[in-house]
Structure 1
C-alpha cells in the first residue's frame, strides 16, 4: 500500500492556515509557555475574547495537531499538548526561503 505524503507547499499551506486563526494562535502561544498542558488548562487561560466551548477548543487542537504544529500525548486519562519544535523550525526555514 502506498502512503501519500504532503509536498512542502502543502505542508506550508496547512501550517499557515492552522496559525491563521486567533484562537489557534493563542493556543500555540499558551502551549509554548506551558509544555505538557492539558486542554482544560488551555481553555481556562485563553483571553476572554477568545474563550470557546470545550468542543470548539478540541477542534482547534485537532487542526493544530493535523498540521503537525502540536503533538498530543496521552497521559492517563488526560491528553497533554506540546509544540512540535521540528515543525516550527521547518516552518521558519520555509518562510525565510520565500524572502530569498
Structure 2
C-alpha cells in the first residue's frame, strides 16, 4: 500500500506532498483494506505532508467518526498543513 501501513490494530496514514481530493479515493481504499484486516485505530502522520485541502480534511473527519475519536490521532503537522488544521479547529487531533 502506498499511503497506509498496518501494525497490529493500527493503520498509519501518511501522504507525502499534497493531500488533496485527487488522492482521497486511493487513501479511502487503502484504509478500507486496513479495516478489513482488523485495524480499529488510525494515526495520521503529516510529517511529509506539505498541504491538505478541504476534501482530505472532510475525509479524515469521516474516518475519525468511523473509528471514534479516542481511536484517531494525528502527529507531525507543520507549515501549511498545521495552518489548515488550526483554521478548522482540528489541531486537537494532534498528539505527540
Fold conserved (TM > 0.5)?
no
| Structure with the bigger percentage of helix | 1
| TM-score (norm: length of structure 2) | 0.28
Structure number with greater Rg is 1
| Structure with the bigger percentage of strand | 2
| TM-score (norm: length of structure 1) | 0.28
